[in-house]
Chain A
C-alpha cells in the first residue's frame, strides 16, 4: 500500500481517536489522578478546603471500607446464583428451539425476545409494580399458596431483582446460544443418531460442548454487567429504601460518595478499584472456562 494512502486510512479513524482521547483516556487519567488526592477542611471548615496529595490512602481506605467490600461481595454472590440460572434456562430454551422446525423456532424466538425490547428501567418499573402489594397481582397469588409474599422484604430483594434480570436477559442470551447452535454441522447429530444416541444424549454430549464459546461469551458479558448493576437496585430503592440501602451495590456507593457526600477523590478511587475487580473477574472467568477445553 502506498505511504500516503496509509495516512489517509488513518485519517478515517481520526475523529474516533480524538473522541476516544477526550471521552475515555482523559477521564480515566483524571479519575486516577483525583484518586491520589484528598480534600481537607481546615479548622472549622471556614477557610475552605485544601487538596493535598494522599498517595494510596484512598485505595487503602476503600479496601478496608466495610460498606464497599460488602457491596462487592453482595453483588458477586448474587452473580454466582443469578447468572448460572439465567444461562442454564437460556441454554435449555435454545436447545428446545433447535429441536423444532425452523418456522416454529422463528415464532418462538420472536416471542421470547419481547422482554429484550423493553428498556431496563421500564422493565424494572413494571416488575416493581407487579411485586407491589397495592397494584400487583403477585402478592395475592402468594396468598393463594398460603402466605402473602412480600417481594420487598430484606430476604426477598435479591430474588426479586434476580427474577427481573432473568426475565429481561433470557431471550437475548438464548438468541446468542441458538445462533451458535445453528453453526454446528448437522451431520454430527445424524451420525450420533445412527449410532443410537438419544436426543437428550445428543443435546448434552454434542450440542452443549459445541456452544461452549457462546456460553463463555454470554457469561462474560453478564459478569461485566452484573458488577456494575445500578439501575434496578436504584429503582427498588425508590419504593423500598428501608431494604435497599444507598450502599447496596458498588456503583451506588460510588455515586453517593461523588454526588451526595461530595467526596470525588474517594469516589474516583473506588471506581478505579471496581475497574480492577472487573478486569480480574473477567480474566479469571476467561482462564477458568478456556482451560477446560485444553
Chain B
C-alpha cells in the first residue's frame, strides 16, 4: 500500500507504478531480491567445501600445499586415483567392496524384514502388537554405545567379531525402517484388497509376496535407500566390531589414514581427499537417481 502511494506521488518512476499492482505478492519485490541473495549465500556455503574437495582431488602434493585451494593447478586426478587404488596392495578397493557388501546386502535383508514387520503391524490385530510397536518407537531413544558395546561382547563370545557378519547382522534389524514400512503400508495397502484376495483363496504368504510387496515398491525403495545411506555412513559400529583392516569400511579406512600423519609421520592427505571424493560418488549417484523416493522418506519420517 505504501508503494502505491509513493508511485502516484512521483510520476517519473514508471517502473514502480507498473510493479505497484494491487497484487500483494508484488509488494515485496525488493524483499524477494534480498531473499534470493540470502539463498545464494547459503548455497555457496553448502557448495564450497564440496568444490574445494573436487579441486583438491585433482592436485598433486605440491599443488595441494602451495596453491590456492579454490582453483585448479594442473590435472593430476588420474595420478591420484592410480595411487589411491594401488596403495597398500589396493586396500582402498577392498574397503569399497566391503562398504558395498555391508550396505547393499544388509539393507536388502533389513528392508525385507522391515516390510514384513510393518505390514504385520499395520494390517493385523494380534495380541502384543502394541508392545512390538512400543519397542520400535522406544528404540529410537537408545544410545548407540548402550547397544554397541554389549553387542561387541555378545559377538565376541560367539566368534563373530572381525567378520562381515558383525556388520551384516545388526543391519537386518532397523526399527526406523519398520516404522516407515508401517506408515507406508497404512497409506498404500487397503484392507478391502486383502479381504478380496483372501476370499479368492490366496494364502497369507502369497498375498504378502505377490500383492503387498508389489504395492509397496515405492515405500520399499525409500526404506532401502535410507538404510543403505545409514549403513554406508556408519562409523561407531564398524570401529567397534571390525579389527583387521581387510574387513574395514571406507569410513573406517579414511579415518585411519587421517591419523597416520601424527601416528607414524606418513602424510596421506592427498590419498584421503581423493578417497573421500570417491566415497561420496556412489551415494550421490544413488540419491540423485532415487531423488523422488528419499525426499518423501525424509519428510514422511518427520511429519507422521
The complex places the Cα of A110 from the Cα of B46 at a distance, in Å, of 11
Which residues of chain A (220-262) have a CB below 8 Å from chain B? 224, 227-228, 230-231, 234-235, 238-239, 241, 250-251, 254-255, 258-259
Count of A interface residues, CB-CB < 8 Å: 96
Which residues of chain B (112-167) have a CB below 8 Å from chain A? 113-114, 116-117, 119-121, 123-129, 132, 135, 139-147, 149-154
Evaluate contact between A228 and B303: CB separation under 8 angstroms.
no
Evaluate contact between B235 and A121: CB separation under 8 angstroms.
yes
> Nearest chain A CB to B189's CB is how many angstroms away?
12
Q: Indicate whether B64 reaches chain A with its CB closer than 8 angstroms.
A: yes
The complex places the Cα of A51 from the Cα of B129 at a distance, in Å, of 40
> Nearest chain B CB to A228's CB is how many angstroms away?
5
Evaluate contact between B68 and A20: CB separation under 8 angstroms.
no
The complex places the Cα of A227 from the Cα of B141 at a distance, in Å, of 11
The complex places the Cα of A226 from the Cα of B68 at a distance, in Å, of 34
Q: Indicate whether B14 reaches chain A with its CB closer than 8 angstroms.
A: no
User: Which of B144, B259, B283 makes the CB contact (< 8 A) with A117?
Assistant: B283
User: Which of A11, A125, A199, A250 makes the CB contact (< 8 A) with B28?
Assistant: A199
Evaluate contact between B113 and A16: CB separation under 8 angstroms.
yes
The complex places the Cα of A194 from the Cα of B140 at a distance, in Å, of 44
> Nearest chain A CB to B157's CB is how many angstroms away?
10
- Per-residue CB proximity of A171-209 to B under 8 Å, as 1/0? 110011001100100000000011010010000000000
Set of chain A residues within 8 Å of B36, measured between Cβ atoms:
100
Set of chain A residues within 8 Å of B85, measured between Cβ atoms:
none
User: Which of A119, A171, A241 makes the CB contact (< 8 A) with B283?
Assistant: A119
Evaluate contact between A12 and B235: CB separation under 8 angstroms.
no
Q: Give the residue among A227, A241, A271 with the most B Cβ atoms within 10 A.
A: A271
* Interface locus among B72-80, B87-95, B215-223, B268-276: B268-276
Chain B residues touching A, range: 35 or more
- Per-residue CB proximity of B48-76 to A under 8 Å, as 1/0? 01101100100000001100111000000
User: Which of A110, A167, A172 makes the CB contact (< 8 A) with B45?
Assistant: A167
Set of chain B residues within 8 Å of A55, measured between Cβ atoms:
none
* Interface locus among A37-45, A58-66, A78-86, A127-135: A127-135
B-side interface mostly? helix
The complex places the Cα of A214 from the Cα of B301 at a distance, in Å, of 11
Q: Indicate whether A148 reaches chain B with its CB closer than 8 angstroms.
A: no
Q: Indicate whether B84 reaches chain A with its CB closer than 8 angstroms.
A: no
User: Which of A1, A17, A136, A267 makes the CB contact (< 8 A) with B69?
Assistant: A136
User: Which of B45, B52, B56, B117 makes the CB contact (< 8 A) with A12?
Assistant: B117
Evaluate contact between B154 and A27: CB separation under 8 angstroms.
yes
Q: Indicate whether A46 reaches chain B with its CB closer than 8 angstroms.
A: no
> Nearest chain A CB to B80's CB is how many angstroms away?
14
Q: Indicate whether B31 reaches chain A with its CB closer than 8 angstroms.
A: yes
Set of chain A residues within 8 Å of B98, measured between Cβ atoms:
none
Evaluate contact between B47 and A9: CB separation under 8 angstroms.
no
**A-B interface contact total, Cβ < 8 Å:** 264
User: Given A9-B126, A117-B280, A251 and B261 touching (CB < 8 A)?
Assistant: no
User: Which of B120, B204, B262 makes the CB contact (< 8 A) with A239?
Assistant: B262
Evaluate contact between A268 and B149: CB separation under 8 angstroms.
yes
User: Given A137-B52, A137-B70, A231-B236, A239 and B258 touching (CB < 8 A)?
Assistant: yes
The complex places the Cα of A5 from the Cα of B52 at a distance, in Å, of 58
Evaluate contact between A114 and B46: CB separation under 8 angstroms.
yes
Evaluate contact between A30 and B150: CB separation under 8 angstroms.
yes
- Per-residue CB proximity of A97-134 to B under 8 Å, as 1/0? 10110000000101110110111111101111110001
User: Given A115-B46, A264-B149, A16 and B70 touching (CB < 8 A)?
Assistant: no
> Can you add 6 more A-B contacts, CB < 8 Å, to A19-B172, A180-B302, A274-B145?
A8-B204, A111-B43, A112-B46, A117-B287, A122-B280, A264-B149
Which A residues lie at the B interface, using CB under 8 A?
1, 5-13, 15-17, 19-20, 22-24, 26-28, 30-31, 34, 89, 92-93, 96-97, 99-100, 108, 110-112, 114-115, 117-123, 125-130, 134-137, 167, 170-172, 175-176, 179-180, 183, 193-194, 196, 199, 214, 217-218, 224, 227-228, 230-231, 234-235, 238-239, 241, 250-251, 254-255, 258-259, 264, 267-268, 271-272, 274-275, 278-279, 282
